[in-house]
Structure 1
């Protein structure tokens, strides 16, 4: 039996059928349709991303090394009415998928109300898992329109060190088990760095499969924020090793493997530069991406989200200049260009600490996922087909 069929069988056997329907329709069919509408808009020179990521609150119980979010500052969050307004506006233009980030999204008092208000959408919740209680998991199952992507950063010792807490891994695993028990679609994410690169391993993926996890996301640690840790950054060879591992495991194991930084040919891409996604911070600021904490526009501007984003000269300039400079991460490779764009547009620091520009000026250029001549194309037909049609460069790099 092929890996694709084995994965499909795992999904069917281990999931609530209502949850599968929501996933297939709201995320699968409508998600593909939203990308098609995005492509049609691009022909008219209109940029409105099909995927929007929203950091709905800054608060978090953990203090992860290298985190760029003001988790220790006064609580800042997007209120329920504003969440409903921006999602409703995006839906009018074909959007159906939203990534919910923090801080810790489950600390937002209205998270479940947001999901309930939009049964025609699908949400991916980026979480440490500590607040996924049995009761919360039951409600997520009842709603049926969200997947939880739970961060696991290594062994118990590494988790405590990286995430600034005690008993971090056990609490995360408890939340994961609560979610799996309710037959939710559960993913595990790892910010791969020097202390946990051992998780890029076939045995680890097999353990996730045994636990009932349906997909995994390995993304590389980025040296940014108020307390960056350059010693944690991967070498270019290690980045290629992670990429090669993901491509190989896609052919071998029945677990979904997500990546957002390479196309079907193995060429690097930046979702922000292609225009396929942008980010809204907990203040309502509309940012190019989660790690570029500067903005000229806000959800509170008159005219609505669609009008604000499609008319934003700041976002437009960022997309254009980033694509000209690199297929990789512009803030890693060319922090000088980011600094110039922020200065040119008079963009505001969207952090509460108000030190983002100083942090930006102190960054040293380093490599990202763009390693010309080292491309590793997709080999598994399903991923290759999906990326070729719904997640690629969108002519950003011409």
Structure 2
């Protein structure tokens, strides 16, 4: 399997793009992790990877979307984004996840990639705006990998994403990228309506045949103003996905990414471990995309390194999340997240300004943390990579609950 995948990498993509992937993402990413570990030992903090929502607008209306895609357009302009990127570079960070809305609706997205050839960008996109011309530009840039979301069959895709001919347009975007030898990935937010269609070997084989080089299974999280809880997966279904991913990693010549487990199969939360945080289209610095509350912004006249080092809200979020679960605190204990927000006076970072009410209305539900069964990696390569570069960084060793240490909480909640 490893030799077959190596052959695919060498024959199915542009060699310059492969070098950019290996150096800008692989080598620099590994170095960013080592710098992160060193900072933690010194009592300092700066996430080794950043996810940035550069725009809120989108051409689709997905079920359960928590982004204000229909609100007045807000985007991070190139100069402001470049400042964030440069300050992250100073901390050794060169990888950025570009999110939306739909990122390719940002009029200057290609300029962002061109300005920072030393970085590597993963763009979460529905693929509808990736024409042949755009794909050719991505190949010229060389430092971009589109991660294109597929949410089911033709009928399911239209229903899930609130559009017409959604799957056909997405598949055309994938085709355009592969045709131009761009390193291309496909992701799925797995839910009740696409679990059987997309978590199977036939779908993996089809992606390999298409020329897709990596996959990513997310888990659907019912959030936002219209959460569709009927789509959420049961614990046994989440376990099914985990077992499928582990088995496919030793069988199929395609990389399969996951963001929720370490090499031993123990669940983790990338925001709780400090692996990554998120910047919203309004510049708010949030723990993760679904936690739409913040105390700090990229537009403050403060170096980004100082913001991350001194943010008590982000620190307390990490400690609170790690003290409660190895899974997702938003799903399992939305009440505690609300208390933390009240304690810090964290601002609602949405355009609709109803995030607090949405949080209070949530019913606790299971997340990826399965207390009965862990599924360790079977692949030595994934076990090695996770042991050294993707784990909990000690976040769960001695968690402290920040809500237990502040008498201000009761006072604030009473108000």
- The partner residue of 2:73 within 65, 72, 75 is 75
* Counterpart in the other structure of 1:34: 32
Q: How far apart, CA to CA, are the structure 2 residues paired with 1:151 and 1:178?
A: 15
* Counterpart in the other structure of 1:387: 386
Q: Which runs of 5+ in 1 are unaligned?
A: none
> Is the Cα contact below 8 Å between 1:78 and 1:282 reproduced in 2?
yes
Q: How do 1:91-106 residues align onto structure 2 when only pairs under 5 Å count? A: 91-106=89-104
Q: How do 1:222-237 residues align onto structure 2 when only pairs under 5 Å count? A: 222-237=221-236
* Counterpart in the other structure of 1:349: 348
Offset at 1:309?
1.4
* Counterpart in the other structure of 1:172: 170
> Is the Cα contact below 8 Å between 1:214 and 1:256 reproduced in 2?
yes
Encode CA deviations 1:275-295: one digit per residue, 9 max, x unaligned: 010000000000000000000
* Counterpart in the other structure of 1:296: 295
* Counterpart in the other structure of 2:358: 359
Q: How far apart, CA to CA, are the structure 1 residues paired with 2:109 and 2:306?
A: 25
* Counterpart in the other structure of 1:311: 310
> Is the Cα contact below 8 Å between 1:153 and 1:162 reproduced in 2?
yes
* Counterpart in the other structure of 2:403: none
- The partner residue of 2:86 within 79, 85, 88 is 88
Q: Secondary structure of 2:73's match?
A: coil
| 2:11 equivalent to 1:13 | yes
Q: Secondary structure of 2:330's match?
A: helix
* Counterpart in the other structure of 1:210: 209
Q: How far apart, CA to CA, are the structure 2 residues paired with 1:141 and 1:347?
A: 41
Q: How far apart, CA to CA, are the structure 1 residues paired with 2:121 and 2:18?
A: 13
Offset at 1:23?
0.3
Q: How do 1:197-346 residues align onto structure 2 when only pairs under 5 Å count? A: 197-198=195-196, 199-346=198-345
Offset at 1:47?
1.3
* Counterpart in the other structure of 2:404: none
> Is the Cα contact below 8 Å between 1:301 and 1:308 reproduced in 2?
no
Q: Secondary structure of 1:372's match?
A: coil
Q: Secondary structure of 2:282's match?
A: coil
* Counterpart in the other structure of 1:163: 161
TM-score of the superposed pair, with normalisation by structure 1: 0.99
| 2:79 equivalent to 1:50 | no
Q: Secondary structure of 1:273's match?
A: coil
What is the CA RMSD across the aligned residues, in angstroms? 0.5
Q: Secondary structure of 2:368's match?
A: coil
Q: Secondary structure of 1:271's match?
A: coil
* Counterpart in the other structure of 1:149: 147
Q: How far apart, CA to CA, are the structure 2 residues paired with 1:263 and 1:215?
A: 19
Encode CA deviations 1:138-184: one digit per residue, 9 max, x unaligned: 00000100100000000000000000000100000111100000001
Encode CA deviations 1:57-108: one digit per residue, 9 max, x unaligned: 0000000000000000000111111000000000011001000000000001
Encode CA deviations 1:248-268: one digit per residue, 9 max, x unaligned: 000100000000100000000
Count of residues in Structure 1 that have an aligned counterpart in Structure 2: 396
Q: Which runs of 5+ in 2 are unaligned?
A: 398-415
Encode CA deviations 1:307-359: one digit per residue, 9 max, x unaligned: 11111010000000100000000000010110001000000000000000000
Offset at 1:373?
2.8
Q: How far apart, CA to CA, are the structure 2 residues paired with 1:313 and 1:111?
A: 32
* Counterpart in the other structure of 2:190: 192
Offset at 1:245?
0.1
Q: How far apart, CA to CA, are the structure 1 residues paired with 2:247 and 2:45?
A: 34
Q: Secondary structure of 1:323's match?
A: helix
Encode CA deviations 1:201-259: one digit per residue, 9 max, x unaligned: 00100000000000111111001111001110011000000000000000100000000
Q: Secondary structure of 1:360's match?
A: helix
Offset at 1:8?
1.1
